Amino acid sequence: MAPDQAAAHPAPVALSEAANASTSPMTDASVPEPDLAPVVFDVKDLSVYYGAFRAIRDASLEIRQHEIAAFIGPSGCGKSTMLRCFDRMNDLIEGARVEGQVLYHGVDLYDAAIDPVEVRKRIGMVFQKPNPFPKSIYDNVAFGPKLAGLKGSMDDRVEAALRRAALWDEVKDRLKKSAMGLSGGQQQRLCIARAIAVEPEVVLMDEPCSALDPIATARIEDLMQELKADYTIVIVTHNMQQAARVSDRTAFFTTEVNETSDTRTGVLVEYDVTDKMFSNPSDERTENYVTGRFG
């Protein structure tokens, strides 16, 4: 993009205005379908490369507001790679390159004018392994808002984030204690509190329960149901039952052999309402996977 164009679309304004403007189901002039929430991410023909290797080929899907979208599929089919495109985390991987578009409320996240730091303020990420900072519980939550220069009482902000992450009652008497003393499940809820403390619109979760026991997993799943009233959530999970339990829509990815080499590239097979994906999918490959006929 030419510098004059970049100046005409300063990233923070473009992103926040686009998100705020998109409160009606459609951002263009067409008549909205009444039962559909606004589109937050519109992914068009997305391919992601690591060097010469194409990890995902031509994936297209829409993520809608206040829904939970789950990505499922065998290991290596590109679920995490796709998730990282939503907050431009792939930028941090040397040799990673994206083709196609990821529109966030109609704004191309990969436009040269977009500041990835601004993107990550609006779109939070929770990782597979709980990764609190070796700081106090309070400081873990306050870190992001401080960095972002958010105004208002920090105590109130920390409390609100911990309450929303269903952790407040367990930690309110030990806020100044190290986060490393919390259980795995508590640490993961702290990471969710840390992600939402900067008031993002979207929370991305990359296998957030895979390091947790069943009880801690159930708490995170309940929490996701509560959070979707305020956030849009995209979750990668290797656990099909989890996708069926928590998500509104499910994307099934698999891999296909490349003709030109013996590598395998991830493809999006099907993306639909979760109930349909698990009861009556359109593609035989989805059916085989969700019924366990595919390893």
Which residues of the shown chain bind ligand ADP in the complex (CB under 6 A)? 50, 55, 73, 75-81, 93, 236, 266
Element (H, E) at 232: strand 232-236
Instruction: Give 123 or 196: the residue with its C-beta nearer to ligand ADP.
Output: 123
Instruction: Give 80 or 136: the residue with its C-beta nearer to ligand ADP.
Output: 80
Q: Which residues contact 101 (CB under 8 A, 6 or more apart)?
A: 42, 43, 44, 45, 46, 108, 110
Instruction: Give 55 or 220: the residue with its C-beta nearer to ligand ADP.
Output: 55
Q: Which residues contact 266 (CB under 8 A, 6 or more apart)?
A: 55, 56, 57, 59, 73, 76, 77, 78, 79, 81, 82, 253, 254, 255
**CA nearest neighbour of 171 among 201, 229, 121, 132:** 132
CB atoms within 10 A of CB 169: 9
CB of 240 to ligand ADP, least distance (A): 13
**CA nearest neighbour of 84 among 211, 207, 187:** 207
CA pair distance 113, 87, nearest whole angstrom: 15
Beta bridge partners of 252: 72, 270
CB of 66 to ligand ADP, least distance (A): 25
CA-CA-CA-CA torsion sign (164, 129, 178, 139) = negative
CB of 216 to ligand ADP, least distance (A): 22
CB atoms within 10 A of CB 290: 19
CA pair distance 31, 173, nearest whole angstrom: 52
Instruction: Give 54 or 164: the residue with its C-beta nearer to ligand ADP.
Output: 54
Instruction: Give 93 or 117: the residue with its C-beta nearer to ligand ADP.
Output: 93
CB of 78 to ligand ADP, least distance (A): 4
Instruction: Give 69 or 171: the residue with its C-beta nearer to ligand ADP.
Output: 69
Q: Are 258 and 57 in contact (CB under 8 A)?
A: no
CB of 75 to ligand ADP, least distance (A): 4
CA pair distance 245, 239, nearest whole angstrom: 10
Instruction: Give 77 or 192: the residue with its C-beta nearer to ligand ADP.
Output: 77
Instruction: Give 201 or 270: the residue with its C-beta nearer to ligand ADP.
Output: 270
CA pair distance 272, 121, nearest whole angstrom: 28
CB of 204 to ligand ADP, least distance (A): 12
CB of 79 to ligand ADP, least distance (A): 4
CB of 61 to ligand ADP, least distance (A): 15
